[in-house]
A and B are shown apart, each in its own frame.
Chain A
Amino acid sequence: MSLLDIDERILDVAALADIVKCPIVDGKDLPEVDITLVEGSVTSDEHYHEILHIRKQSKAVVALGDCAVMTNITGMRNYFNLKDVVDTAYVDAISNDKSGNIPNDPALLKLNEKVVPLQEVIDVDFVIPGCPPDADTIFYVLFEFLNDRIPNLSEVKKLKYG
């Protein structure tokens, strides 16, 4: 949702492109698109299938933010076994109900053993690191792409992590 940080400039983007899908707009399937901005890393089976689908439907995939590019905070559970991580939340935490039950509803996503950044699963065409990614940088990248130019973050001194 960092896209919304570009504020009123989203109107300039809308003048050049149709925004066809967005997590808060609708739950429809992703149609064939030119550019997809993907936030977050691949942490579960659902994410894995979703990112493969996104890759198939998009001409260009842009990894947006440190989580998508280098796993960031979501990857901090990779230092431990998945079981230890889940137990910490649902079994050992002082705040839980002492039942020790781990939620396993079929509607819930199944966590993968390790969290990986997008580029370990699919080919990513462009990355915008940053936590949060800078609004000016997001607009710059979109504007360059929509005007048929290839952006270059280090050339315009817009590289940033953290």
Chain B
Amino acid sequence: MNKIHVTINDKACEVEMNLSILEACKSLDIEIITMCHLDCITDVGACRLCLVEIEGINKLLPACTTKVADNMIIYTQTEKLKRYQRITTELFFAERNHVCSVCVANGKCELQKLGYKVELDHIRYPYLFPQCDVDTSHPWYVLDHNRCIMCTRCVRVCAEVEGAYNWGVMNRGSQVRIISDFNTPWGDSTTCTTCGKCVHACPTGAIWPKAIVQGQLDKKPEMINELVRKRKMKL
């Protein structure tokens, strides 16, 4: 196994080649905050929470989509990064309508946990309060755009693990939306297999089963990881 030398937070470390910075940090028990990352599916660098500072590069790079290189000097815990993480989290809250007290995911939400981690007590930016649709057309599940943070974990898990390609992304900027097929109601989808992987992959209360009431949601995103490992073992 080829090993390379990197310096992470002023500590010399030896890691395997071809790992992303995120994977390398994980193997060394260095915590990096992420939202759009899910073990075993492709990383896209959507949430910008895992940004790290690398010496010699004058912009911040996402740890999940940047590979480690020999003699790389990486910082994951600087004050600048912490400030950016808090700003990013505040913008998640300000962009759509996250009303925790009426949300099915209340108390079990990754966005809430992220807020606590980055010490977010209030949002300094004006709320956009967009009018977002709620798609209840599926017989079992609901898609609530108000609570979506566009991590695209549902899109990737549907394409890569289930192979159904039901979910997609349309528009840009604040108009960006997750869509089922060609922007048709989820219930009319000809590709959805109703497997429920997107429900478990979703970090917030944006996709949830109808049989659930406020604060009762219990998601198991680690199940996706297990499924991928089991399926590969069979292959």
Interface residues of A in 118-154 (CB under 8 A from B): 119-120, 124, 127, 129, 131, 153-154
B129 x A79 contact (CB < 8 A): yes
Which of the 9-residue segments A20-28, A69-77, A99-107 touches chain B?
Answer: A69-77
Q: Determine whether A161 belongs to the interface, using a CB cutoff of 8 Å to chain B.
A: yes
Interface residues on B, range: 20 to 34
CB neighbours of B119 from chain A (8 A): 154, 159
B129 x A161 contact (CB < 8 A): no
A161 x B115 contact (CB < 8 A): yes
CB neighbours of A76 from chain B (8 A): 97, 99
CA distance A78 to B97 in the complex (A): 10
Given that A127-B121, A129-B122 are contacting pairs, would A161 and B112 also be in contact in the complex, using a CB cutoff of 8 Å?
A: yes
Nearest to B102 among chain A residues (CB) is A73
B126 x A120 contact (CB < 8 A): yes
Nearest to B111 among chain A residues (CB) is A161
Interface residues of A in 26-82 (CB under 8 A from B): 63, 66, 69-73, 75-76, 78-80
CB neighbours of A120 from chain B (8 A): 126
A72 x B121 contact (CB < 8 A): no
How far does the Cβ of B91 sit from chain A's closest Cβ, in whole Å? 14
- 1/0 contact trace for B87-119 toward A, CB 8 Å? 000000100010111110011010010011001
Given that A76-B97, A114-B129 are contacting pairs, would A162 and B121 also be in contact in the complex, using a CB cutoff of 8 Å?
A: no
26 contacts between A and B (CB under 8 A): A66-B100, A66-B101, A70-B93, A71-B127, A72-B100, A72-B101, A75-B97, A76-B97, A78-B127, A79-B129, A79-B132, A114-B129, A117-B127, A120-B126, A127-B122, A129-B121, A129-B122, A159-B115, A159-B116, A159-B120, A161-B112, A162-B100, A162-B101, A162-B103, A162-B106, A162-B215
Identify the B interface with A (CB < 8 A): 93, 97, 99-103, 106-107, 109, 112, 115-116, 119-124, 126-127, 129-132, 215
